[in-house]
């Protein structure tokens, strides 16, 4: 995979947090990094220029959803995801493996493949490891993911073992199916919150020699403390010379705790989903914009935020937009939330380089208080 490389720039000796650069055919990503989620080829409500203005360098799209509409054939015909979305930076596509968990009632799984019944019209979509790779090659993302099985965190031991082993077998099939050399295929560790299962997953995946590794199966119902303790024993299993991606996480505090455990890449719908639902993340904690106390507030949403939302509009105006059900409200708060996530990680990178990541964590947790 000569088109890709991970450059480790600094490691904080007290925590294991690290700063690096992930080089891809469509540009370099400064890590640790957060990827806004554009499931259907769009980060809801924002143009590519607005996404870039938040500080984002890479975005995510979803194989399952794009395979249903507009279909991989259509995206390929229209020039691939970069042209389709008009996003000229790196893109990652999930394989559809998370939907095995999130849409469990609409799926049937065996060792050969997953069969989904479309949540849109009831039609069937078959995803084998080979088919998942083929769709992602048509979509043309820079980073693509192996098809995996994401079991519930409280799955019984026999089902957890079966999911881990199936994920390993599918990863080998994905590797063998890959044709394009300008895409980095990531393996995904599963195993819930069980140390022996994570070790079993790593033992199966590391010999396949992927250019990057993801940790899946977290933030699926377990307590935050369980997620953090799982990272404590899982991250050290991964190579130090490749990016480490924690899938589907999460809250600002989760990003902070993940970075201090050595995670490089994150994605989550939370900043935009919460933004659409009148909840903002700020340097002082979360703000519920529908609260009556904001009605006549002339101050900014977050006085420390450099985004256009905070430098131009009052808190009272933002509340008005949601009360009046104006579409500008969700757009503006999504823009702010993504900027906040990018600013948090930028500041973390500075702290890691200066060797003060632990102190940064202490200060930030105190500022957030109980609102995280």
Its sign, for the CA torsion 37, 42, 48, 51, is negative
Q: What is the DSSP string of 91-140?
A: EEEE-SHHHHHHTGGGEEE-SS-EEEEPTTT--EEEE-HHHHHHHHHHHT
Which of these is catalytic: 12, 148, 254, 267? 267
State how far the Cα of 226 lies from the Cα of 228, in Å rounded to an integer: 5
Asked if 30 is an active-site residue, the reply is no
Which of these is catalytic: 12, 94, 264, 302? 94
What are the backbone dihedrals phi and psi of residue 288, each rounded to the nearest 5 degrees, phi first? Answer: -95, 110
Q: Please state at what angle helix 315-323 crosses helix 328-354, rounded to 10 degrees.
A: 140
Asked if 94 is an active-site residue, the reply is yes
State how far the Cα of 124 lies from the Cα of 134, in Å rounded to an integer: 17
State how far the Cα of 131 lies from the Cα of 95, in Å rounded to an integer: 10
Question: What's the token pair of residue 31?
Answer: 């890590």
C-alpha distance from residue 338 to each of 36, 126, 185, 348, 367 (Å)? 7, 34, 26, 15, 19
Instruction: Decide: helix, strand or coil at residue 18.
Output: strand
State how far the Cα of 48 lies from the Cα of 309, in Å rounded to an integer: 17
The answer to whether the bond into 250 is cis (omega within 30° of 0) is yes
Query: Computed over its alpha carbons, how large is the radius of gyration of the chain?
Result: 20
Q: What is the DSSP string of 309-331?
A: HHHH--HHHHHHHHHTT-THHHH
CB atoms within 10 A of CB 12: 22
Instruction: Decide: helix, strand or coil at residue 347.
Output: helix
State how far the Cα of 223 lies from the Cα of 217, in Å rounded to an integer: 13
State how far the Cα of 44 lies from the Cα of 57, in Å rounded to an integer: 17
Active site residues: 94, 267
């Amino acid at each position: 995979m000569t088109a890709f490389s991970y450059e480790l720039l600094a490691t904080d000796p007290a925590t294991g947090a690290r700063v690096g650069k992930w080089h891809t055919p469509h540009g370099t990503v400064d890590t640790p990094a957060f990827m806004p989620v554009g499931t259907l080829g769009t980060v809801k409500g924002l143009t590519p220029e607005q996404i870039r203005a938040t500080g984002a360098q890479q975005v995510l799209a979803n194989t399952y959803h794009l395979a249903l509409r507009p279909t991989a054939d259509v995206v390929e015909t229209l020039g691939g995801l970069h042209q389709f979305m008009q996003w000229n930076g790196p893109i990652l596509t999930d394989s559809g493996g998370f939907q095995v968990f999130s849409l469990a009632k609409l799926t049937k799984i065996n060792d050969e493949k997953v069969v989904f019944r479309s949540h849109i019209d009831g039609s069937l979509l078959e995803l084998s490891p080979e088919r998942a790779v083929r769709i992602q090659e048509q979509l043309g993302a820079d980073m693509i993911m192996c098809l995996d099985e994401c079991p519930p965190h409280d799955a019984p031991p026999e089902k957890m073992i079966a999911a881990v082993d199936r994920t390993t077998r599918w990863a080998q099939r994905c590797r063998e199916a890959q044709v394009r050399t300008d895409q980095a295929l990531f393996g995904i560790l599963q195993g819930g919150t069980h140390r022996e299962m994570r070790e079993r997953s790593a033992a199966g995946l590391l010999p396949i020699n992927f250019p990057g590794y993801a940790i899946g199966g977290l933030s699926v119902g377990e307590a935050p403390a369980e997620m953090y303790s799982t990272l404590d024993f899982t991250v050290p299993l991964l190579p130090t010379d490749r990016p480490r991606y924690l899938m589907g996480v999460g809250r600002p505090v989760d990003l902070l705790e993940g970075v201090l455990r050595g995670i490089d890449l994150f994605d989550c719908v939370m900043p935009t989903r919460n933004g659409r639902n009148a909840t903002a993340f700020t340097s002082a904690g979360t703000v519920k914009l529908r609260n009556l106390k904001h009605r006549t507030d002339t101050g900014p949403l977050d006085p420390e935020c450099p985004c256009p939302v905070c430098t131009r509009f009052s808190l009272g105006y933002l509340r008005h937009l949601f009360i009046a059900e104006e579409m500008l409200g969700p757009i503006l708060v999504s823009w702010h939330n993504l900027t906040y996530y990018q600013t948090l990680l930028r500041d973390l990178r500075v702290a890691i380089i200066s060797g003060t990541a632990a102190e940064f964590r202490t200060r930030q947790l105190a500022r957030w208080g109980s609102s995280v």
